[in-house]
Structure 1
Amino acid sequence: MSGQLEVLNKKLKQAIDTRKVLETARKQQVDTLTNFAAKLSLSCKGMDIELDNRLAKFRSALSKGVDFENLAPLIAEILSLLKNQEAQQLSHQRELHTSVLTAGKLLQKTKGLPDDTRRMLRHLLDHQLNEIQSTNDFIPILNKLVSIYNQALNVKLSVKNTEDSITQPRLAKELLTLANDLVFEDEAADNVKAIKNKISETDSVEDLLTSAIEIIRIVATNISDERQSAQSFLVSLNQTLEDLHHSIVATSKHSESMSTEFETLNKRIESKIVNLTKQTQDATSISSLKALVDNELKSLSHDLIAKERLEQEDRQALIKNFHDINTRVGSLESKLSKYKKRLHEQRFKSLLDGLTKLPNRAAFDERFNHEFHLFSVQESDFTLVVIDVDHFKSINDQYGHSAGDKTLQVIAKALQMSIRKSDFIARYGGEEFVLLMPGMSVEHATAPLEKLRQAIKSIPFKFKNKSVQITVSVGATQFKKGDTPLIAFDRADDALYKAKKSGRDKLCINS
């Protein structure tokens, strides 16, 4: 019996030890699971406020050792929230996929992307993007996309810098052309010259815009001064006309007044003569007739003297009034003559190129249309010539715009000296000139045009102590029946293009 008890005790002890081991193992497993659940709940933190609150309660309960049965409702709530969160994650993942795909396709349209970058982008959109399983998988995709965006941005900036490098010289050239077309005097002329020098020396778009604003300000000031001058003239003219009107009105009133007095005096004299005649007929004796006649003649004499005095006053008043009127008319004519002269000067300046002092584009258009009208009526020979300075841009680039301006001035003077008095030379714009040769066929114009080209070529230009030969290309044509001004000019321009294309420093005829 005792032996059986020992066996039972031994088995019981083994069972107790085994249970302790199992309980210890279970406790370790529970602790591990509890720690894992707590850590896992932390990984979900920040996804949703309500879920964060439930997970915080769950971690607190685990740390206190709450029975799992009591945790069941909380776990059920957390599972429900996690399920909703999973649906939201899937929705966000789809939206992120669409956004990345759209951004990538926009990047593919960027011009100038390197070929390697373009291939990497295509692989990213066609393969890597379709292999994504979770939101975290988007991180390396987005990193690559940002990298490609940086490359695209650098390409854009590079293109912009290139465009700026092209735009700046073009803006400077256009501003200089506009400044050269402006004709001012005194301080305004000096200011424009200073602005032109500033334009020639700057390479900043901001400085060019500032120069443009300064030019606009000078033009606006000049217009304002001209308007004030015109207003002053009109006020003065109005005052002179008003004074003239008053003089004429005063003369008219004086004439009316004198006319009334003359009429009264004439009637009185006429009445006395009639009365004298009647009394003479009624007289009965010579003595009474003599006394009567003496009295009437004295009265008539006084009236005639008064009439003569009145006539003299009238003549003097008229002379004075006419003198005043003549003075005012003379003043008016003088003012009109001065203003007409000023308008003529302004018109002359408006048709003059400020740099070369040759007629400008507007003057050429006016003369060209006039000559073309004469040709359409008479159909006489007429040659149109377009002249362009060769490699002019390189002169500006190497020696500065002031050297370019001087070149145009010298060439303009040489052109003026090389043509007939009946010819018309104008600066068409930039480094281009136009020549009208009325009464001359293009065949007869060839020799003088070649001479003109050689004259320009022989000018000893010198910039920065360096001798430079400057040449011109020349295109010419003759008016034809059925031409329009545009057709004729295009034909001459085509001839100039051929001269340029065939090596420059040439004369080409387009007949």
Structure 2
Amino acid sequence: MASDQSWKEKYLQALESSDSREEQWQTERNTLERMLVRTSLASEGQSRELDLLLARVRKDLRKKTVDVEAWRELQEQIDRQVALLDEHTEAKQAQASSAPSRDSLNSNAEVAPVASIPGDDRDLADNSGRLRIAQRVGQLLGQLLDQVSLDSVAEARARELQRVLLSSDDWNELREGLNYVAELVITAVNRSRGEFEAFLKRLDERLALLHEHFAEQSTAQMDRLSASETLDQEIREGMARIGADVRDSEDLTQLKASVSRHLSSIGDAVGRFRDKETDREKVMSDQLRAMQEKIAVMEANSEQLQSEVRRERERAMTDLLTQLPNREAWQERLSFEFNRWQRYQNELTIGLLDIDLFKRINDGYGHKAGDRVLQLISRELKASLRTTDYVARYGGEEFVLMFPETGPDAALVAMEKLRQRISKLPFHFSGEPVSVTFSAGLAAFRRGDSEEAVFERADRALYLAKDSGRNRINIEDEDASQ
């Protein structure tokens, strides 16, 4: 019985590991889907045909099922539309370059200064917009690489692609990089799915070993019961014959011989049973020894798998740049605190924090400077908040905070101290002092609230703080009165 219980526990642990692996795969899939949606939205407005194709991408993502072959065809159509855009741009550039120069116009006669050609302005605007899109895709790609695992070759290529998207101003080079993004996403999804399928295959093989062992034990037990029943029947029949001989015999010598013969037959039956039992015990001993060896291997593999699952779960729930919990971890903690709030009705406040004018830091000093700002602010957030409070990186330059058993006024006091502390930090880039501030919105849970409703109110409070001049904190109740 104890052995059966042990195997049940191992089976349940294996199922739990399987669930954790599936959850990690789902997290990676969600990250990839968000990246595709943001990329498609950022790329809209180039042409009506391309917008329709990007809308198909988002529609497929909402279905939660992806036909890889259909997506390959969709990617080819998107590539063709991008190529047509490039041809159109090159044609306009060639037309502009063939126009008479201002110097030639002024060579024979004095004329008024020539205004800039509208087509040139549009070309410059188009090129600038494309570069911004490429840089945004590069940022999203960096977030993707922080959340999913790729083989060494694919990851090296992805890192090089990120570098090109963030730093290159050659549109042909950027176009090739953008074409590879969809292929990279499919590769990451297939790798995660393959790893999960391999894990399930190993789990199935180990469960098959358990099933085989239990089947052998069941067969041995049935053989033992059958042999016991046969022995019992032979003994009963022998004793019955002895009884009959005793009743019917009139010759004592003949009776003795008959009884001896029947007793010898019973002894032979017992001997055969003992021999078979000895053989069965030897077989079972060999099976037990082999099973113990298999168990030792399985336990070692189980510990390794559990350790791997724990590491993967921690990685899936942690933002690698800031070492804060990520968006998925926030959603899990928010659900936990929301359920506790519903049960006990203690005060609960959440906040959204956004770094002011963060894009200027990235554009003016580079993305490494932007990463450094995120890391320093994350450090201050962890150091300044109470241990009962919770902070996570929600994405980009946005952070989310939770204040359990705290009303909005008390949360505002804590956030104001943090705002003043961060605004006084000595940020220096390229030898220049740079002021870094943030804006934030706070919202408290009220009767009948949902997680989404409170988050939306905090989000509105944040954007009111932005519209009111930045570097300030708003409480959503205050927003409602304005």
1:382 equivalent to 2:382? Answer: no
Q: In the TM superposition, what is the alpha-carbon distance from 1:389 to its structure 2 partner?
A: 1.1
In the alignment, which of 214, 238, 242 is matched to residue 272 of structure 1? 238
Moved more, 233-242 or 436-445: 233-242
Task: Report the Cα distance in structure 2 between the residues aligned to 1:386 and 1:365, rounded to whole angstroms.
Answer: 14
What percent identity do the matched residue pairs reach? 29
The CA deviation string for residues 65-108 of structure 1, in whole angstroms up to 9 with x for no partner, is xxxxxxxxxxxxxxxxxxxxxxxxxxxxxxxxxxxxxxxxxxxx
Q: Deviation of residue 382 (structure 1)?
A: 0.9
For residue 391 of structure 2, the aligned residue among 420, 425, 430 is 425
Distance 1:486 1:278 in 2: 90
Q: Gaps (5+ residues) in structure 2?
A: 1-113, 478-482
1:179 pairs with one of 142, 151, 161:
142
Instruction: Pick from 320, 334, 337 the counterpart of residue 368 of structure 1.
Output: 334
Q: 2:189 aligns with which of 215, 219, 223?
A: 223
What's the secondary structure of 1:182's corresponding residue? helix
CA deviation vs aligned residue, 1:131-170 (integer Å, no higher than 9, x gap): xxxxxxxxxxxxxxxxxxxx99942442342243244224
Matched residue, 1:58 = none
2:326–2:393 Cα contact (<8 Å) kept: yes
- Bigger radius of gyration: 1
Equivalent residue number for residue 229 of structure 2: 263
1:370-418: CA deviations, max 9, x gaps? Answer: 4334434433211111111122122112211121122212222322222
**In structure 2, do the counterparts of structure 1 residues 195 and 457 end up closer, same or farther at CA, with 3 Å as the change threshold?**
farther
Distance 1:208 1:361, change over 3 A: farther
1:477 is paired with a residue whose SS is strand
What is residue 144 of structure 1 aligned with on the other side?
Answer: none
Among 264, 269, 277, which residue is 1:311 paired with?
277
**8 Å contact 1:172–1:208 — kept in the other structure?**
no
Deviation at 1:202, TM superposition (A): 1.9
The one of 409, 413, 418 aligned to 1:452: 418
Distance in 2 separating the partners of 1:496 and 1:221: 37
Deviation readout 1:97-131 (Å, 9 max, x if unpaired): xxxxxxxxxxxxxxxxxxxxxxxxxxxxxxxxxxx
Deviation of 1:507 after TM superposition, in Å, equals: 2.8
**Alpha-carbon deviation of 1:334?**
6.5
Q: Within 2, Cα distance between the matches of 1:478 and 1:428?
A: 19
Q: Is the 8 A contact 1:457 1:470 kept in 2?
A: yes
SS in 2 for 1:388: strand
Counterpart of 1:425 in structure 2: which amino acid? Answer: V
Please tell me the residue identity of whatever aligns with 2:140: T
Residue in 2 aligned with 1:165? 128
Q: Aligned residue for 1:147?
A: none
Judge conservation of contact 1:474–1:496 (CA < 8 Å) in 2: yes
1:236 Cα deviation after fit? 3.5
What secondary structure is seen at the aligned counterpart in 1 of 2:266?
helix
Residue of structure 2 equivalent to 1:281: 247
**Structure 1 contact 179–215 (Cα < 8 Å) conserved:** no
Corresponding residue for residue 264 of structure 2: 298
- Map 1:441-480 onto structure 2 (within 5 A): 441-480=407-446
Kindly tell me: are residues 503 and 175 of structure 1, through their superposed partners in 2, closer, same or farther at Cα, counting changes over 3 Å?
same
Shift of 1:435: 0.7
- The structure 1 residue matched to 2:373, chosen from 390, 400, 407, is 407
Determine the C-alpha separation between the residues in 2 that align with 1:441 and 1:435: 13
8 A contact 2:238–2:263 mirrored in 1: no
- Residue of 159, 163, 169 corresponding to 1:197: 163
CA contact (8 A) 2:134 2:178 kept: no
Pairing partner for 2:322 from 356, 363, 369: 356
- Match of residue 14 from structure 1: none
More divergent stretch after superposition (312-321 vs 417-426)? 312-321
Name the structure 2 match of 1:110.
none
**TM-score calculated relative to the size of structure 1:** 0.60
- Match for residue 155 of structure 1? 118
Deviation at 1:176? 0.5
Distance 2:185 2:432 in 1: 37
- The amino acid of 1:402's aligned partner reads K
TM-score, normalising length from structure 2? Answer: 0.63
Match of 2:199 among 233, 236, 255: 233
Q: Which moved more, 1:379-388 or 1:334-343?
A: 334-343
Quick one: distance in 1 between partners of 2:418 and 2:391? 12
1:166/1:223 Cα in 2 relative to 1: closer, same or farther (>3 Å)? Answer: closer
List alignment gaps of at least 5 residues for structure 1: 1-150
> Whole-Å Cα distance in 2 between the matches of residues 259 and 276 of structure 1?
26
User: Does the Cα contact within 8 Å between 1:244 and 1:329 map onto a contact in 2?
Assistant: no
Q: Residues 343, 206 of structure 1: CA spacing in aligned structure 2 closer, same or farther, 3 A cutoff?
A: farther
The within-5 A match list for 1:49-88 is: none
In the alignment, is the contact (CA less than 8 A) between 1:450 and 1:507 conserved in 2? Answer: yes
Letter in 2 for 1:358: L
Deviation at 1:369, TM superposition (A): 4.3
- In the alignment of these two chains, the number of paired residues is 361
Which residue in 2 is equivalent to 1:392? 358
Residue of 440, 463, 467 corresponding to 2:406: 440
What is the rounded CA distance, in whole Å, between the counterparts of 1:330 and 1:262 in structure 2?
34
Going from structure 1 to structure 2, the CA distance change for 1:381 and 1:204 (only over 3 Å counts) comes to farther
1:212-238 Cα deviation digits (max 9, x unpaired): 344444443333333333343344444
Letter in 2 for 1:497: Y
CA distance in 2, matches of 1:208, 1:393: 20
CA contact (8 A) 2:138 2:163 kept: no
The corresponding residue for 2:108 is none
Partners of 1:239 and 1:288 lie apart in 2 by: 65
Q: Would the aligned equivalents of 2:134 and 2:166 in 1 still touch at CA under 8 Å?
A: no
Output the amino acid matched with 1:305: G
Q: Read off the aligned partner of 2:426 and give its amino acid letter.
A: P
